[in-house]
Amino acid sequence: MEVRKIAYFSMEIGLNPAMPTYSGGLGVLAGDTVMAAADMKIPMAAVTLLYRKGYFYQRLEKDGWQTEEPVEWSPEDFAVRVEPKIIVTVEGRPVKVAAWEYPVKGIAGHTVPVYLLDTDLEENAPQDRHLTDTLYGWDARYRLSQEIILGIGGVRMLRALGHTKIERFHMNEGHASLLTVELLDEQLKGRQPETITADDVAAVRRQCVFTTHTPVAAGHDKFPMDLVRQLFGPHEAFALENVFCCGNQLNMTYLAMNLSHYVNGVAKQHGEVSRAMFEGYKIDAITNGVCPSRWTSEYFQQLFDKHIPGWREDNFSLRYALSISASEIADTHRLNKRRLIEHVNQQTNIGMDLDVLTLGFARRMTSYKRPDLLFTDCERLRSIVRQAGPIQIVYSGKAHPKDTDGKELIKKVFAAGRQLRSDIKIAYLPNYDMWTGQLLTAGVDIWLNTPQPPMEASGTSGMKAALNGVPSLSVLDGWWIEGCIEGVTGWAIGEDHHKPAQTDSKQDAEFLYDKLEKVVQLFYREPERFSTVMAHAIALNGSFFNTQRMMQQYVVKAYF
């Protein structure tokens, strides 16, 4: 068997649009990371959970209210059950864990195996059989049980599969942090746990890499120590100073940071924000990317094949998109746009027009992403359309089942759609997934992004858009601080191009309307200049904000 040196652990990995093993950005990034590793022949194996019921299938009622259903799917259609089973103790019960292997194949044929852990085995008690059913479901007890299976079970499964030469364990977010405890136990090699030394801790740190993904508090798992002792059992490591934190809580982020030799945020600003959040820790930044072969539409793939042969192997060469004529780029985009508009019309019967400037907004529906910022002043929006030219908008996105505010936001978008119906067509595509994501990011004319700074750690959908020649109109937050060259690669929402917009949403809405008006005018009055911006989105942003560049940085800074 091929030797694997890096193990990549993630609570979710978006591998295939038909496999519901992801919820959003974190999982999509994990999938793109694994694909880039396969393309670059990096000796990696990845571990996640299977999720027989997925995250959820989103249904939207007439008023936009979201209801959730379990996803029905058959793992055997995609992955192969591998032999070994391992045992993890949860609440004193031995839980058997099996794995499914999904091989991710790179452009030159190298594969990265992804192991999806599964407890739905006859040998297990009924409650344990459900532990790998639902992503981000139920309560803290369920979540911690899943994280024990991922962290502890994941390491044991890799060993059982023969992966004994792993040099680095990369924790993609804190959910897998308990793997550090398993590595600590391995370090003891049968010695009494009381004898853990600073050298043992240092040996674990050498092996671990941690990436934090969000400044949002809810994104950092914390569990009461009572619950940890109950589910995990007692462990000497709990008493180690500067390992477990804090007080009566297990904070998965601190555990991961304490036991990793390299920690990073996912964009330059997010590195800064994380250093302020976690004082005293050394936190670097590696800006996220997306995998071009996955997110570039067929039409643009053909265009790049014609003009930039080798772009799949060498994503930097997308820089040469500047040598493709603006009209060819515009024509190719129109094919993507037609595909989107036909889908939207077929799904919603809204009658969108191929010639009308189309905005896209699709992401997790939650307060800080402010999907309703555009509707702060509907009169202003109407007047922009009257003066500068018509627009239409495609929305999509799920709210976490427990995020009531997020669900209300979907209703607000629906309400705005009704209110503006005679002036602006607004469609909402249900059940946002990677397939819809590709269709939307490639097919709209402008990708709209209005987060509340500095909450957007990176954001990746704008990078997918850039690969397809779709410029962003975005608040300066996350990756856009690095990717925006005003009027060249897209447009910033805000007065000062080097400072994040104010945290005042009214003010941000003003900035949004001012800039939108200019961009709509440009689109209709100077189409050649607009096409030049499209070319620069590919050449300057597509060539850099990709997972190939990102993986090179992980290799150099974190892995070896």
- Pairing of the two strands 249-251 and 425-429: unpaired
Q: Which is nearer to ligand PLP, 169 or 361 (CB)?
A: 361
Cβ-based nearer residue to ligand PLP, 66 or 460: 460
Q: How far is CA 182 from CA 6, 158, 208, 245, 411, in A?
A: 16, 12, 12, 17, 45
Kindly state the smallest distance separating residue 281's Cβ from ligand PLP, in Å: 24
**Tally of CB atoms within 10 A around 164:** 9
How many Å apart are CA 302 and CA 82, to the nearest integer? 37
Q: Tell me whether residue 250 or residue 467 sits nearer to ligand PLP (CB atom).
A: 467
For ligand PLP, which is the closer residue by CB, 237 or 291? 291
Q: What angle do CA 79, 84, 88 make, to 5 degrees?
A: 105
3-state SS assignment for residue 425:
strand
- Which class for 72: exposed (0-12), middle (13-18), buried (19 or more C-beta within 10 A)? exposed
| Smallest distance from ligand PLP to CB 291, Å | 11
Are the beta carbons of 252 and 171 closer than 8 angstroms?
no
Minimum CB distance to ligand PLP, residue 433 (Å): 5
d(CA 115, CA 232): 23
What's the one-letter identity of residue 211? Answer: T
Partnered with residue 502 across adjacent β-strands are none
Whichever of 8 and 55 has its CB closer to ligand PLP, that residue is 55
To the nearest whole angstrom, how small is the minimum distance from the Cβ of residue 32 to ligand PLP? 9
Contacts with 159 (C-beta within 8 Å, 6 or more apart), sequence order? none
Cβ-closest position to ligand PLP: 437
Which CB sits closer to ligand PLP, 255 or 393? 393
Q: Could you tell me if 49 and 115 are in contact, meaning their C-beta atoms sit under 8 angstroms apart?
A: no
Question: Taking the complex as a whole, how short is the minimal distance between the CB of residue 24 and ligand PLP, in angstroms?
Answer: 4
86, HSE (Cβ side, Cα atoms, 13 Å): 23
Residue 437: CB atoms within 10 Å: 24
CB of 35 to ligand PLP, least distance (A): 13
- Calpha distance 202→261 (Å, rounded): 9
State the residues that interact with ligand PLP by CB under 6 A.
24-25, 28, 363, 432-434, 437, 459-461, 464
Q: How far is the CB of 464 from ligand PLP (least distance, A)?
A: 6
> Which of 153/437 has CB closer to ligand PLP?
437
From CA 450, how far away is CA 483, in angstroms rounded? 15
Of residues 289 and 437, the one with the C-beta less far from ligand PLP: 437
545 touches 289 (CB < 8 A) = yes
Contact 344, 427 (CB under 8 A): yes
Minimum CB–partner distance for residue 136 and ligand PLP (Å) = 13
Pairwise CA distance, residues 397 & 400, whole Å: 10
Q: Which is nearer to ligand PLP, 151 or 451 (CB)?
A: 451
| Paired tokens of 127 | 């409650």
Residue 91 CB, nearest distance to ligand PLP (Å)?
33
**Shorter beta-carbon distance to ligand PLP: residue 60 or 330:** 60
- Closest approach of ligand PLP to the CB of residue 362, in Å: 7
| Residue 338 parent element (H or E) | helix 326-348
